[in-house]
Structure 1
Amino acid sequence: MKNKNIYDVIIIGGSYSGLSAALALGRALKNVLVLDAGFPCNRQTPHSHNFLTNDGKTPAEIAATAKQQVMAYPTVAFFNDVVTEALKTKDGFRVSLSGGEVFYSRKLIFATGIKDILPGTPGFAQCWGISVLHCPYCHGYEVKGMPTAIFNNGDTGFEIARLIRNWTDDLTIVTNRDASFSEEQWHFIRTQNIEVRTEVITNIEHNNGYISGVTFNNNTTLAVKAAYTRVPFVQNSALAKKLGCEITPEGYIKTNAMLQTTIDGIYACGDSISPMRAVAHAVFTGTMAGISSSKELIFENY
């Protein structure tokens, strides 16, 4: 395949999992194109943690170093644009970009991540990933012992509160409506001295994304320094589903142990396949997708 627009593998998404896949493929001497729109989901997060050798660095710093290292491999190319269409062809895949460019590949890797659906509460979006958090293993150490809120109700709110109790004993569950806990859950909440607030949130007070308080519809304010919550999400790209890839009931792209989707020649990695939203997991799954796709290419050639 001599055409400059034809590659062994096209990777859609150039954050941690996509870069890791590109690294594995570049080292396997495969011609790779990484397509990325430049809007990673953690672009607002000030620091990344639990990734050995890079603990505490900014997400942008880790990504920049990774891209620099991947670019050292001459068979890996990058193109910044939004992918608008991906189609199955006789020989592989046809990928179209918003700028009109068209590329072809034998294999396709989705490293597109997910998109969080944030509530419209004033201040929430500005705090998301900075002080309104999704993962204590990523961010809990930095806010340990601080007054902390949980923005969920029922089983989800209880599960998060029980987990976060490990990092702080100053904990308030904010249900945003009538609380819906079982008797057993209420017993735990009371014995752990966890406060429950059922008023409706009207505003998240903050300073450049760092939360200071939660204002309710009765004009009272709960002073906190951190909050945890789970929010709904959708796949950041609908292209995998359009190509026929099966989506799990939870909303993730279904893959096997080798990161193959349910459509031949298509692989997926990173946040789009698992609720484990961590840099280390993205790197691992990206590496696996790169190795698996390169192995398939090698066995097709020899």
Structure 2
Amino acid sequence: MIYDCAIIGGGPAGLNAALVLGRARRTVALFDNDRPRNKVTHASHGFLTQDGVTPAEFRRIAYQEVLRYPSVEHYPVSIVNVRRLENGFELTTESGERFQSRKLLITSGLKEVYPAIPGLKELYGRSLFHCPYCDGWELRDQPLIVLSEHPKVFHLAKLVHQWSRDLVVCTNGAAVLTEEQKGVLASRKIIVSEQTVAAFHGSDGKLRQVEFTDGTRLDRTGGFITPAWQPQTDFREQLGYEATELGGIRTDETGRSSVPGLFAAGEASTGAPSQLILSAAAGSLAAVTINVELMEEAFA
């Protein structure tokens, strides 16, 4: 069987695309290895009617809705190889099974790479986060830390200041703030530390203290960090698509890439983290474009 569209990635972009294509009576193969980036997060926010939903519950509801459409098939496997065919694509799973499709939509998103700080893993998703829009409300008015080795720490600090005035900015040993920026932060009574963090201390997912390499400790109950981002999947060598500066698949506003028949949506196209609602919208738009392409080809 040759599917109308194969979708790699079962996050909000991929699931919403599958929903739109299923309702358009397109045959869809949805490949999802159940490794969502937000799996450790206690709740997702900013999605109207679903504010506060857990990632697991979001996926459960989404699959329940998507798989009501008989032309959509779900395969809980990883795709390890993709190659272009004359009129489509061939996808190979980790077990060697092969699938063919006329169109391909990649929505596999990103994975996070964090500083190797003891205690961080146990606290991430519970009291340490990366997105203030997603979790700032829950940490409002608490003593917080913003940790980043990236120059964008200045922007992040100003943003987090909207939710808490008790704020310490830490660059983890990196000299990424200018003297002018330090002055701006100091004028708002935001403390800046360029020390290296030795460990995060807490229990039951709740941060209590930040320990620095000089032995000093700072009481904090939560905060925001900036991880490095990497694509969950990288088929650039096999497919030859143009990439963004951040490593995403370069697309136009509809999700169409430089490779005929190849589309990308959500974090897979931007190479940067995205809110759930924005990824879902991008998946919907890409699905509509894919359906129109298939329609025009059928009438050619």
What is the TM-score with the length of structure 2 in the denominator?
0.95
**1:238-277 paired onto structure 2 within 5 Å:** 238-274=234-270, 275-277=272-274
Of all paired residues, the percent bearing the same amino acid is 32
* Residue aligned with 1:60, SS: helix
Tell me what 2:29 maps to: 33
What is the rounded CA distance, in whole Å, between the counterparts of 1:286 and 1:184 in structure 2? 41
Tell me what 2:104 maps to: 108
Q: Residues 241 and 162 from structure 1, CA distance in 2 versus in 1: closer, same or farther, beyond 3 angstroms?
A: farther
What is the rounded CA distance, in whole Å, between the counterparts of 2:182 and 2:202 in structure 1? 30
Q: Does the alignment pair 1:189 with 2:191?
A: no
**1:158-197 paired onto structure 2 within 5 Å:** 158-177=154-173, 179-197=175-193
Matched to 1:75, the amino acid is: S
Tell me what 2:71 maps to: 75
Tell me what 2:280 maps to: 283
What is the rounded CA distance, in whole Å, between the counterparts of 2:280 and 2:153 in structure 1? 29
What is the TM-score with the length of structure 1 in the denominator?
0.95
Judge conservation of contact 2:147–2:169 (CA < 8 Å) in 1: yes
Judge conservation of contact 1:241–1:247 (CA < 8 Å) in 2: no
How much does 1:242 deviate?
2.9
What is the rounded CA distance, in whole Å, between the counterparts of 2:66 and 2:280 in structure 1? 13
CA RMSD across the alignment: 1.4
| Per-residue CA distance 1:186-222 (angstroms, 9 max, x = gap) | 2212111111222221111122332222111122211
Tell me what 2:292 maps to: 295
What is the rounded CA distance, in whole Å, between the counterparts of 2:244 and 2:112 in structure 1? 17
| Per-residue CA distance 1:23-81 (angstroms, 9 max, x = gap) | 01001110000011111000000001000000011011111101100011010000111
Judge conservation of contact 2:22–2:72 (CA < 8 Å) in 1: yes
* Residue aligned with 1:273, SS: helix
Q: Does the alignment pair 1:89 with 2:85?
A: yes
Q: Does the alignment pair 1:138 with 2:138?
A: no
| Per-residue CA distance 1:135-178 (angstroms, 9 max, x = gap) | 11111000001111111256322111111111100000112226
What is the rounded CA distance, in whole Å, between the counterparts of 1:201 and 1:15 in structure 2? 33
| Per-residue CA distance 1:77-128 (angstroms, 9 max, x = gap) | 0011111100001121000001121100000000100111111111112222
Q: Residues 206 and 61 from structure 1, CA distance in 2 versus in 1: closer, same or farther, beyond 3 angstroms?
A: same
Q: Residues 266 and 52 from structure 1, CA distance in 2 versus in 1: closer, same or farther, beyond 3 angstroms?
A: same
Q: Residues 221 and 267 from structure 1, CA distance in 2 versus in 1: closer, same or farther, beyond 3 angstroms?
A: same
Residue 229 of structure 1: which of 225, 232, 242 is its match? Answer: 225
Q: Residues 134 and 178 from structure 1, CA distance in 2 versus in 1: closer, same or farther, beyond 3 angstroms?
A: closer
What is the rounded CA distance, in whole Å, between the counterparts of 2:169 and 2:207 in structure 1? 16
Judge conservation of contact 1:14–1:35 (CA < 8 Å) in 2: yes
* Residue aligned with 1:254, SS: coil
Tell me what 1:120 maps to: 116
| Residue segments in structure 2 that go unaligned for 5+ positions in a row | none
Moved over 6 A (4+): none
* Residue aligned with 2:252, SS: coil
